Amino acid sequence: MIEGRISHLDLENRSALIVEGNGNEITVNFALRTNVEIIEDETVGLMGGELEDLEEGYQVELEVASTNDDGSIICDSIACVS
């Protein structure tokens, strides 16, 4: 699992730049089947969402499906934690 903040989000190319707490930057690619969970404002619980619901600055937790040759990862699941 990777935890970090969305620094840059590119919905057109289904990718994001995630910055971990130690400053490490990771390029993430989202598969068509990536599970997205967003915090629901009223209950503060997680609910299903779409990539379009994500925003730069969100703190997230990622489940890695695989790693590409260039070091970028393909995300299986992303959940907003803030």
Q: What is the CATH number of the domain that holds 37?
A: 2.40.50.320
pTM (2 d.p.)? 0.85
So what's the pLDDT on residue 27? 95
pLDDT at residue 48 in the model: 80
Q: Residue 16: is its pLDDT beyond 90?
A: yes
Query: What's the pLDDT tens digit per position in 27-72?
Result: 999 988 899 988 776 666 677 888 998 999 999 999 988 888 888 8
Number of domains, the chain: 1
In terms of Cβ atoms closer than 10 Å to its own Cβ (0-12, 13-18, 19+), residue 36 is buried
Domain of residue 48, residue span: 2-80
